Structure 1
Amino acid sequence: MPEFPYSRLRRWPDVEADNLQAYDATDVLLVERALALGVPGAEIAVIGDEYGAITLALTDAGLRGIRVHQDLATGRRALARNAEELGLAGFVSHELDGDLLIGARLVLLQLPKSLAELEEIADAVARWAAPDAVLVAGGRVKHMTLGQNEVLGRSFGRVQAERAERKSRLVVASEPLPAPAEPPFPVTAEHDGLTLVAHGGAFAGSRLDIGTRVLLEVLGVAPGALRQAQGPRGGWVAELVEAAGDGGWVAELVEASRTVIDLGCGTGALAAAYALAHPDARVIATDRSAAAAASARATVAANGLADRITVTHDDAGSELADASADVVLLNPPFHLGTSVHTGAATRLFEAAARLLRPGGELFTVFNSSLGYRAELTRIVGATEQLHRTAKFTVTRSIRR
């Protein structure tokens, strides 16, 4: 059998660069193990196949009926594109649910970065897969921890880490344990009037991450700060209003009925807090992570905002119309998987520029060390710093 052409795989529409590739040694080890076990394709589920390397290599080897779940919209599109380029078919995409796992005897997993995401996946496998199912999980050794074994041990009676090979390692989990009556996710937390709901794969979980909190406080819509914005103003909002006058941008945000996009919405904290503070605003929350989109939908429902916020699972708002937004709110990531790379933020800056009408406003929070202000000015338009701490900077960009 000819060797599968891994080098032909592309990451598109995700960021592509010389130091980023569409497969790694872990993908190859997982494929080799699956072929050695000889399990029929209809009894195999693949989870976390970033750009389709595992699914397509097994399909190319003649296995049919493989079920695959990818959290990211970019990964789903890359899989479809790579399959078309290689002329391969015969696999089916699913969400992380029973349809993905019922009857599966072999589950192949690229280990996620988050232990919470791993816990939700392990529970799903033990809950829905065949009673004799085996989960073969793999990752790059430098990113693997004993905590991952401990998490797998909550859902499987036997967990065995194998020797490292090609700087990757496989962990085999077998003997699924009885699943609890209620799954461990989603989880819910209250934040002084704002309810956040999170699946395991959602960034920051049900916590209100510090960057998002900083942006909400600058906008005057943070949990516990809404009273300050609506009544006597204090804190950072007071400082900004004092500097700009009562006719400044804070007042403009409150008075205008606007279309607002929470780009890369995560659990929907920005969208929900903004909608609670601005009843006339039309809010759209979008994220490329299926876990994030599901979390945001649950957050929207928990805050009674289902009729005012639309949530989409999309790649950088690609399905939203050009020049359709008055305001974009953005807390961009600075990681691509386990790699630190600013390309993810740049794609979202470009998306914001496309989505904003001329004169529209982009409010961004980012790590101060990244110094995105010049890039925001180049891509979006004139950018001013609204607030800065040693860790975070908040800017306002006006679409040219």
Structure 2
Amino acid sequence: MWGLLRACGALRAAASHPMAVSRPTAARSSTATAGIIVIGDEILKGQTQDTNSFFMCRRLRALGVRVARISVVPDEVDAIAGEVAVFAARFTYVLTSGGIGPTHDDVTFEAVARAFGERVIPHPELVALVHKFFGKTDAQCPEMKLARVPESSYLNYGTDGCTGGTFKYPLVSVRNVYIFPGIPALMERALDGLTHLFRSEQTRFHTRTIYVAADEILITPVLDQANATFQGRVSLGSYPDWANNYYRVKLTLDSESEQDLEEAYRFLIEKLPPGVVVPLVTDCVSPAAAEVYGLAESGSALGQKVAAALRTIEEALDRYSLAQLCVGFNGGKDCTALLHLVHAAVERYPEKLQVLYIRIMSPFPEMEQFIQATVQRYGAERGRLPGRG
């Protein structure tokens, strides 16, 4: 059974090799566009979470292709065929995901054929692959369904990013429609091996991000003004995050012109209310000593409190060795702040900081993950003690 599944997976996996039919060339505009069709009842029923469209969007954008539409359709020939026909006429590329295999609900090949008014026929190359992997030649066996594709199909053999070799199994395309497998690992491998089919040398997308520590309603007038000023040149997105402790709104700016992007970025930085733009700190651990001591010497109200805390920590360091000290830690905000202050103070010591984790009987999984990540982030040595904090 597992051998059958692996072989099916291999045949579903993509990978550029000519067939008897000449390969079509999609009409290109200044910016290549793509439409993604995710196929599967399990997606619409909420039984499986779609990750394929997310992966495709990120890869295509990096290749200079603008994803214009994503659609999710059931395992129905007419529904798939109708969507494929519409997408193929509108976009440079159409990428489908799912519905390739030997079972009754694998109907993508049939649907794509219907979209273009074609027949589904056995492809000699795919028939040979089915025979090679399954040892089956009966035209009616379930495995042979993998070899019956639209009559104008083209077989694309991709390059394995790990080995540099050519994939043994092809991705089927019909005109500007590329038929990817639905299994995420196979789809990702296929797309990564076939990036040359979609790469646009003319287009590069540029992105800037602004983090705002203010509610969206406060900055709406400025966003409206920026959108009116740069409409058609820069795409401006506003995404609130009420749960974030660091910022309230993330603004994204996207453009094909780096000059237009920088102009819009400067416009927003100048027009947004004073003090609401905050820098995003992705690594607060490496510069901890400079930042913490800089704050302590700033003379601000917070800086004075930090300076007092540092004096207490330094007094402990003067009286005891690091081997005699540990920081009590339970994952809360106060002890996280303390850990950061102690880390800043002991960076000049060669020894590692020790953390004592007082673990309750049934901690939340998220808390366990946070504590483990924090210990790794600070390079501390963790001891664990069960009980109540």
**TM-score normalised by structure 1 residue count:** 0.26
More strand by share: 1
- Normalised to the residue count of structure 2, the TM-score between the two structures is 0.27
**Highest RCO, 1 vs 2 (Cα 8 Å, sep ≥ 6):** 2
